[in-house]
Amino acid sequence: MSAKEQRLDRNELSELMARLYSLYERAELIYDETGLEPLFFKDRLFVSDEVVARDYGLGLGKDGDPFWTIPWKLAGIYTQFLRRVMVQMALKTARTRIEYLLIVLKDGNFFVLEGEEDRVIAPYPEGVAGAHTHPDVCLMSHKDLETADRAFLMSYFASAVVSPSCLYMIYRNGPYTEEDRRVLLSMAKTVKRVKTYEELLQTELIKFPNLVTVIL
């Protein structure tokens, strides 16, 4: 019996995700504590208030992108990353039904774990985003949605499923609220009951306050 794959790696996309996510976490904290919306430009945060800039070690200025656009940028980068790194794993899953788990860590590394047929289970460390492979449809099972809930409670930015033909992602576009959690866990219960692909697809396009669902 061959050993299961375990790999720790990094690339420019995982490093960029870690940097942007760190900026976003810091900007959210500053916004919560001061009421000011930081701007970001070239890996730096800026505010227009001299006192806040001094107290938080930020740049002083009015130019840059609003910090709440960072999740949208992260989603695009994560999509590129998953297509580059996980497509070959998804093709393996389609052949063998053995699933793979990938987690992007806060230091810019990512690790890959090989699971079992039709499942992959591992404790989630502190991280930026998680994803796993499916052999066919890329929509989430009720257990996948429950795992996504745990990831968002740990402040993960995104949870995704990758198959050979598609990618499904849920990502945070703001704080993970009680209402987001209520809708997500209700969605998991509904998914457990559905019988057809069409019902599943409609369920997984439900709207959330601060979560965004994407199918590509």
pLDDT of residue 197: 64
Q: Which of 79, 49, 48 is nearest to 166 (CA)?
A: 79
- Spatial neighbors of 127 by CB under 8 A, at least 6 apart, are 103, 104, 105, 106, 151, 154, 156
Are residues 123 and 202 both part of a single domain?
A: yes
Is 170 a domain residue? yes
Is 154 a domain residue? yes
Q: What is the pLDDT of residues 54-83, one digit of tens each?
A: 999 999 998 899 999 999 999 999 999 999
- Spatial neighbors of 72 by CB under 8 A, at least 6 apart, are 173
Average pLDDT by consecutive 10-residue portion of the chain (216 residues)? 78 97 94 94 91 94 91 96 94 95 97 91 91 90 93 96 94 93 91 73 74 90
Is 141 a domain residue? yes
Which domain range does residue 103 map to? Answer: 73-215
pLDDT of residue 47: 94
Residue with tokens 């810019």: 108
Are residues 62 and 127 both part of a single domain?
A: no
Are residues 162 and 99 both part of a single domain?
A: yes
Q: Which of 147, 3, 171, 5 is nearest to 88 (CA)?
A: 5
Number of separate domains in the chain? 2
pLDDT of residue 200: 66
Instruction: Give 123-144 as a DSSP string.
Output: ---SEEEEEEE-SS--SPPHHH
Are residues 52 and 78 both part of a single domain?
A: no
Are residues 19 and 35 both part of a single domain?
A: yes
Indicate the pTM of the whole model.
Answer: 0.90
Beta-bridge partners for 169: 160, 214
Beta-bridge partners for 133: 162
